[in-house]
A and B are shown apart, each in its own frame.
Chain A
Amino acid sequence: MADTTAEERATASISDELRRKAESRDWPLPVVAAALQAGVDEALIHEALDAGLTPAEARQVILKRLSGVEKLSMKWARVDTERGIRARPGKKGLTIDDINVGSYADVPDVWPDQTMRPRGSYVKPGTVSMGYTIYAKAEVWADNVGSLYEEAIQRRWAPATDIPWETIAPLSEDRERAMGQLCTALCEYNYMVILALGKWIREVSFGYHEVKLYLSTVLFDAARHFEAFRKRALCNGGRLGVQGVGWQLAPIRDALCYSEMAALVFVLNDSFVQSLYQLGGALGHNEAEARLFTLAAQDKARHLSYGVEHMRYLLEHQPERREEVRRYLQKGEEYLAKDFADDPSSREALAILLGGGLEHIGEGFQKLKTFRARQIQSYLDRVEAAGLDHRGTIWPALAAHQSV
């Protein structure tokens, strides 16, 4: 009944004469009202009614009058953009790098445009800003960003169906709990990456669409990792563990510029997480875990590869930012070391997993020392590959874990 009232309200503006005529010819009144509201002349509607058109035919006439393109202007086809581009697929199909041809391949150091204009297209002056904040190539760029994007898509996997979950077999309660604790920490980290990247992806201007595309795959990976480790925690008679202390996440949350976030996520923290993924793959509990951690590590390798290349690009093109980047890393290191110190749950869980059970936790702690030292070593190697000699400047509390 509510509809009838609404219909009455909507059609109240129709003159009595037009209403009578429309009703006598079975025309729906809302259509008449809409035509009037859209600016159709009442005379035209009378004409259509008198001509005996069905409502559908009349609508056609009215709509054509309103929206029809009488003749083509073709103005849009005469804009001054580069033509004659015929990118061909190569061995890996038609990739995002394959279409970087001619002027479309020019990625300027500073992107001048605040609109959504695709690189290489024309946009009318006067188009409004879409509110991006990153217009400097060095802030986001890495030369491998296009190939990493395509690689991420080729190597996609689905935790639901690509993990042989049926191979999961019960573990002793201590080891299952330790695995649940590790999964909980990995879920939290990946959720933080989702929160952070969601924000940053939107800040990147359209001149660097390859970066936006690549970051979309990283977001997607993070969602999958969150999902996959949650699934692992809940599929083997175990549970999620205790929430982490979470200091590690604070600097990522705080990052005020993209390069700061990128150094923290894609170089520092991802490096430490990658060691955990590799550890998980090597534990040998069952095929499902081995596959899960190996696939996650494969994704993570792309994130690190971008992180290192991006930092290298940044330092090459804005060498004056070297000490600034070092400070971002040091802040991240300081917080990471706080986690190592303050979070018994994660270090004890790792010691149980490394030792092979609660009764071997002492041995596990010995192995954890070696594991930490290697984590730091891999991290410093990556920073060095990015062009920053950081071995002498790593935050002392983290450096303390270097000696076995």
Chain B
Amino acid sequence: MIEDNQGVQYDYVVGEEKQLNELIKGPDIMPLLKSAVNAGASSAALVNSAGETLFRYGDTDREAGLTVKKPVYLEGETAGHIIINGHSDRKHLLEAIGELMFNAVKIILQSNFKTLLATETHKTVVYQSYEELIETNRKLKLSEGKYRELASSLEKQVQERTEELNRAHARLLHQEKLVSVGQLAAGVAHEINNPLGFISSNINTLNQYVLKLKEMLSFYHAAFDKKGPSGECVEESKEKWKRLKLDFVFKDVDDLIKESLDGAQRVKKIVSDLKGFSHIDEDHESDADINAEIDRTLNVLTHEIPQEVEIVKDYGKLPSFSCNPAHICQAFFNIILNALQAGAKGLTLRIATRSANNMIAIHFSDNGPGIPESIRNRIFEPFFTTKEVGKGTGMGLNVTFEIITSYRGAIEVESEAGKGTTFSIMLPLPQKVENV
């Protein structure tokens, strides 16, 4: 032991090794272990590096099931472990508890380590009053207040984490479903494309043939009328022409062929919209015309739009917007579908687009029942739905929100009960570089 000329003794060496049980005491750890059990673990314990249990809470008999083990670091070395036991069907929950315990114990240890070092240094070497020591420790404690909160709110946090995990999981499933629906649609579209190609082309050829047949038939018909070989044959021909309603057939065959060609053309457009919508061919950014993308989305939704619904388009002239058109279509799709499904009789959906202040603004206004104020700020949350269980995924508007914000855009909703709802989307255009 060394003593200096002021009588301070130096039997204390800064840097001596510390044990886990010197740094973590019952009042620090027990509330945490308790919270872990309250949150759904069957037991929780802290063991040292030799595997000896320092603290434990919970049912020790039922050790079967799942064990989550998290290391406890002291000065960077593994000084022990946190052991969480529980039912094997609570894997997510136990992992979440383990993760939170790991962080909480880390904060406690850091804070106690600092306090211990400070106190030891104080007691043995620093000339400061007891009050000053208290004050120093109070300051050190300020930064550690967090862990006390942690202990008391661990349960709540575990719950939140579990819900979060479940949501993330469900969301993943939903995304997978979206992807497979898209792929299916694109696949079907592709399959339709081929027969559709020869249907159109055959009908066109058929049209040519029919024209020729008609021409020839008309020629015979006229010839017979004038100077047929015998009266009997002329009468028979006239009679047959009439019975077969060939005047009508001649007229109608043109309409039929024209309608069929139109129909094929429409199928072709639907297929191309479907393909465009799922963007099977181009999964990358391109310069999109937002107005055209809205039209494309409306086309895909045709069958969902009842006769009596009126769609009013009020499109402004827009600059092109660099985006993945599939995403943008998906964003519009969910908003439009939402308006349609709110389902009021005599619904009018007004879609207005404008470009101003380096922004593209898109407004979807309906005269539906409106969104009650109580849930207005929740509609963009994942899995929030007002539809019956099993009907809506509750993902629609959240997906829209995610897509719009991914383009650094904003989405707002204004609504008045009984009067209608307006969704406004603002998409920022890239900053123009001025030439100097």
Mutual binders A and B: no
B-to-A contact residues, CB < 8 Å: none
